[in-house]
Amino acid sequence: MSSLCNKQVLLGVSGGIAAYKSAELIRRLQDTGATVRVVMTPAAQHFITPLTLQALSGNPVHTEMLDPEAEAAMGHIELARWADLVLVAPASADFIARLTQGQGNDLLSTVCLATAAPIAIAPAMNQAMWSAASTQANISSLNERNISIFGPASGSQACGDVGPGRMLEPEEIASAAETLFSPGTLAGKTVVITAGPTREAIDPVRYISNQSSGKMGYAIAEAAIEAGARCILITGPTCLTPPEKAQTFKVTSALEMHEASLREAVHSDIFIASAAVADFRPAQNADQKLKKTASDTMSIELVKNPDIVAAVAALEDKPYTVGFAAETQNLENYAKDKLRRKNLDLIVANDVSRSDIGFNSDNNAVTIFGPERTNVIAECSKRQLARQLIDLIAQEIPSE
Ligand code: PMT
């Protein structure tokens, strides 16, 4: 699995004949599992159209600094925050000079100023421009600032000259970008994740469920893939698109989730139960829609569902088993009790009394308890939290 898998790469394209290779570069980056968005300088658009790069990247191409529509959707600060890597290819002599000076006179240079992500450039220019003292001084300065310089290659150039200044081939640039990220901490591991709610049928049109959106579980699946794991996602009904690289099993009820989980867990190294599983289901699932009766009340008898995560933790050769605890009070006591009772290796305690974290929100804040550890993860996006959780699990599991 590539270290770029699941990474968000902002590809900057500046003006130069090598801009046509950006189309191929998008493909090579996508092959690694990265998501690509493109920012073009005005000069770049003379060499290749935004439409071409939009069609290939599958995302709108950003060209204007002061475009009210773009700013409302994804402006320069959002783009700068979105990126896990800003890769400028081709990087012209002019762009390199502006980057060195910290100018913010177009969208691409501004994003570079605003981003906290690593920046890499693939220079492309005439050999004399590359050898010019000013360009070389700029490159030294960027090197000192830990900006990665990929290439350039040497050879015959579009202008007829021969020498250094050719942009590296797209495949070489994608490989160089991979080296910026460490190999996955879960490479070679299989991780099974349960996500979302379950639905317990009352009759063909009614069910008992809860407010889980699946966002937490899907974020964990993405973080596990990013860490190099083979990921199996067992999901209840959600509106989300599962990560492309996950092997996904869609289930509806707790009984179906139980069956899929035990089937998959026996071959896994890690099992993470983030699903909000219904503890009970109706004793009867009526074949036909229940009719309204004259009575003012109605009772539905409920029977207990099997405890999925406890069943996995009871397997003879159990995977490293992580549960979640959704609590509205006594967070620590209840979570630690579940850790012991269910024989878990870790439990992620989630305060679900707040509406801004937990169920159906984009953010979360948790405390993680193990038999001998407590880790607090302060409020952050579920994506960031998932990465921290996966890092912690990777430190805990025995390496092969
Ligand atoms: O999906 P989101 O909208 O992003 O919300 C995320 C979340 C709040 C659902 C998630 O962060 C969370 O807390 N999930 C656990 C919800 C839950 O059911 O907690 P619990 O305390 O009732 O269950 C404890 C553990 O036992 C959980 O790991 C649960 O998956 C598991 N369980 C529960 C019952 C059951 N029959 N089988 C189980 O495996």
**Residues 55 and 83 sit within 8 Å (Cβ to Cβ):** no
pLDDT at 166: 95
Positions annotated as catalytic residues are 159
**Contacts of residue 398, Cβ cutoff 8 Å, sequence gap at least 6:** none
For the cut 80, the answer to whether the pLDDT of residue 145 exceeds it is: yes
Q: Is the CB of 325 under 6 A from ligand 1?
A: yes
Average pLDDT of the chain?
A: 94
- Of the listed ranges 64-68, 145-149, 195-199, 207-211, the one predicted with least confidence: 64-68
pLDDT at 123: 97
> Which structural domains are found in the chain, ordered by start?
8-178 (3.40.50.1950), 190-288+297-396 (3.40.50.10300)
pLDDT at 161: 87
pLDDT at 96: 98
The pTM of this model reads 0.68
| Centroid of ligand 1 to alpha carbon of 225 (angstroms) | 21
Q: Report which protein residue has its CA nearest ligand 1's atom 17.
A: 276
The percentage of residues in the chain with a pLDDT greater than 70, rounded to a whole number, is: 97
DSSP character for 65?
S
- Kind and range of the H or E run holding 313: helix 308-313
For the cut 70, the answer to whether the pLDDT of residue 70 exceeds it is: no
pLDDT at 239: 97
pLDDT at 147: 97
Q: Average of pLDDT values for 218-240?
A: 94
Q: Is the CB of 273 under 6 A from ligand 1?
A: yes
Q: Render pLDDT for 288-314 as a digit per residue (tens, 0 to 9).
A: 999 999 999 999 999 999 999 999 999
**Residues 174 and 29 sit within 8 Å (Cβ to Cβ):** yes
Residue 77 CA: distances (Å) to CA of 50, 71, 103, 115, 162: 21, 9, 15, 8, 40
Instruction: State the pLDDT confidence band at 102, using cuts at 50, 70 and 90.
Output: very high
pLDDT at 69: 66
Ligand 1 atom closest to Cα of residue 275? 30
For the cut 90, the answer to whether the pLDDT of residue 184 exceeds it is: no
pLDDT at 155: 87
pLDDT at 350: 92
pLDDT at 71: 61
pLDDT at 400: 57
